Structure 1
Amino acid sequence: MISLRYHIISIAAVFLALAVGVVLGSTTLSRTLLSGLNNENNDLGTQVSELEDQRNALNARLGDADSFAATVGPLAVKGALAQRTVVLVTTADARPTDRDALKGLIANAGATVTGELQLTEAFADQARSDQLKDIVTRLLPAGVQLPTAPDPGTLAGGLLGPLLLISKADNKPQVSVEESAAVLSGLTDGGFIKATPDLKPAQLAIVLTGGAASGDGAGDRAATIARFAAQVDRSGAGTVLAGSAGSANGTGSVGVVRADTAATSILSTVDNADTPAGQIVTVLALVEQLDGKSGRYGSGGNAQAPAPGAPAE
């Protein structure tokens, strides 16, 4: 006769066997999984290493290209702007190193920089646009007519353009020295600009900016700079808007100009002025402006070619 004790022992033995089987099975499974994960990890490590090698090789090639461009830059632009004058306008996010590199190339091209004007962060601040427009209308010199567009960038360009550029028709200043001083003083006191003391009007202008704007109102700030540059271009013989990497995007001033066919028909843009190659192109684009031509240059997807005269992409 089978006793209750026998039944209990039998059931306990079955559960013990199951427990041992589960443990053994899970150990084998874990080893298989761990082995597979280790293999996957090794493969990923190899891929990462290969990608790092590729990145380092590309960076080395870019460094070589920049060194080459910096070396040949003075030769590439030599004499291209002989006896011309250029005024430099920079935005708050423009890099001083890019500005200095452009000044060097302008000198190599035979031109003279007549002064520098910096647009402060307040200039493109939408919260202060009404104040900027008020100063523009109050300080308007006699004989200067503002454009009909109501946005602050266009209005400020309509005021500063004739101060920064001489007349295309007769190569003479469009505003008296006294009127120019009053405008610059008023905008400086308002916190919108900073100008060098010896600022004089020139034949050509470069508006140097940074990359894509960010944060609240980024698109509006980019549009203010873009419209300002386009209006300055209408005031003289030519202007180039030059930006850094990212400036050709929708929140970059170069990108805003390139989305406006009316602006691109007169204003040249360069989207890689933070590189030696882009700085050379900026100077060559000034030369093209003198011939009444414009273009979209650089490495952005909306550029028409790397440089003036290069095959379109």
Structure 2
Amino acid sequence: MINFRYHLVSLIGVFLALAVGVVLGAGPLQNAISNVGSDEAAVASVADLQEELAAASAEGEAGQELASALAEQVLPGTMSGKNIAVVVLPDATSADVDVATSALEQAGAQVLGPVELTEAFVSQDANTYRETLASPVSSYLAGRPADPSPAAVLATGLVETLTVDSPDAELIGGMLTDEATPLVVALPTELADGLMLVGAGIERPAGVDQTQSGNEAGGDAAVSVAPLTRDGWIALGTAFADASVQAVAVGQAATADQFIAVLREAGSPLATADRGGSPMGALNAVLALASGATGSYGTQSGALEVLAPLP
């Protein structure tokens, strides 16, 4: 015999089922149904973006192929007999260096180096050491920089070790390459007729100190170069521009925190070529060296001309 308790449990079950149905209908299920159209729109939007990206990528590849073909036509013989010291920032990769050195060799230059700068040359952590080292380096400099900061003194010292034949320059080189805390690795034994400063040829610098501003928890934070790293980059640009030989910097200027963009924004007098790590960047860098040009070349932020002058 079915008793009252059985009827009560059945009624509760019916009401629970109705309640669940109402909640789902007004909430998740309703949202899922209403989102069908928007999902289709999102898929179409993503497809459009993918097509645009593919087209831009194809155009970029075509531009690099054109730069490679142009290099084959105009570079050979333009730097024959020249010794070019390739100085590499710590965030540059071996691939970035290979692209630059290949273009120099194509022009007939002898590549000295690569002369690798360590993290200690530009990092925040090594600031105290740089301040300590700058004093003895300054006493051996042939030419004192207008800026007496440690970054400027050390950058000037580096340039003199690469371009000046003197006992004092050799002493500076020994201090910069000290095994305990080296700022520079593998200085060449021959003097340079030209200097090429190679920064990262990637979209986001890696291996250098950076600071973030904005939302701490994964928001749209703005990445910027740490002040001492930025100062180090600018000091290198000034010292290379003041060298007794022709000099150029090559790297990226796609965003404001990248090496070439920082030099350009600071008004550095050094010739610059953007799109480092690519045939176009290498072509402009070598052309700037060969022609003695001092402009800003490429297609990224701050560039004033697409192509450096032909020698």
**One fold, TM greater than 0.5?**
yes
For 1:74-131, what per-residue CA distance to the aligned partner results, in whole angstroms no more than 9, with x for missing partners? 3231222232221110011112112112111111112222333111001112343342
Q: How many residues get paired? A: 275
For 1:125-173, what per-residue CA distance to the aligned partner results, in whole angstroms no more than 9, with x for missing partners? 23433422433432457571322412222111221222212xxxxxxxx
Which ranges in structure 2 are unaligned for 5 or more consecutive residues? Answer: 1-17, 212-224
**1:161 and 1:236 in contact (8 A); partners too:** no
- Between Structure 1 and Structure 2, whose CA radius of gyration is higher? 1
Residue 89 of structure 1 aligns with an amino acid whose one-letter code is V
Show the counterpart of 1:241. 249
Paired with 1:31 and 1:149, the residues of 2 have a C-alpha distance of 68
Question: Compared with structure 1, are the counterparts of its residues 32 and 137 closer, same or farther at alpha carbon in structure 2 (3 Å cutoff)?
Answer: closer
For 1:162-206, what per-residue CA distance to the aligned partner results, in whole angstroms no more than 9, with x for missing partners? 2212xxxxxxxx332x5444322322223211015x432212101
Paired with 2:32 and 2:235, the residues of 1 have a C-alpha distance of 61
Higher mean alpha-carbon deviation, 58-67 vs 274-283, is at: 58-67
Question: Compared with structure 1, are the counterparts of its residues 141 and 34 closer, same or farther at alpha carbon in structure 2 (3 Å cutoff)?
Answer: closer
Give matches, 1:8-27, under 5 Å. Answer: none
Paired with 1:130 and 1:34, the residues of 2 have a C-alpha distance of 59
Tell me the SS of whatever aligns to 1:41. helix
Residue 265 of structure 2 aligns with an amino acid whose one-letter code is A
Show the counterpart of 2:199. 209
Normalised by the length of structure 2, the TM-score is: 0.76
**1:184 and 1:195 in contact (8 A); partners too:** no
For 1:255-305, what per-residue CA distance to the aligned partner results, in whole angstroms no more than 9, with x for missing partners? 3322334x33xx1012211221111111111123x3xx4111222232112
Paired with 1:183 and 1:33, the residues of 2 have a C-alpha distance of 70
Residue 297 of structure 2 aligns with an amino acid whose one-letter code is Y
Show the counterpart of 1:51. 49
Question: Compared with structure 1, are the counterparts of its residues 31 and 130 closer, same or farther at alpha carbon in structure 2 (3 Å cutoff)?
Answer: closer
**2:273 and 2:298 in contact (8 A); partners too:** yes
Q: Alignment RMSD, CA only? A: 3.3
Does 1:182 find its partner at 2:177?
no
Does 1:260 find its partner at 2:296?
no
Paired with 2:66 and 2:141, the residues of 1 have a C-alpha distance of 48
Does 1:299 find its partner at 2:299?
yes
Give matches, 1:88-237, under 5 Å. Answer: 88-139=86-137, 144-165=142-163, 174-176=164-166, 178-189=167-178, 190-196=181-187, 198-210=188-200, 212=205, 215-216=210-211, 218-237=226-245
Tell me the SS of whatever aligns to 2:210. coil
Identity fraction in percent: 19
1:85 to 83, 87, 91: 83
1:278 to 251, 270, 281: 281
Which ranges in structure 1 are unaligned for 5 or more consecutive residues? Answer: 1-19, 166-173
Normalised by the length of structure 1, the TM-score is: 0.75
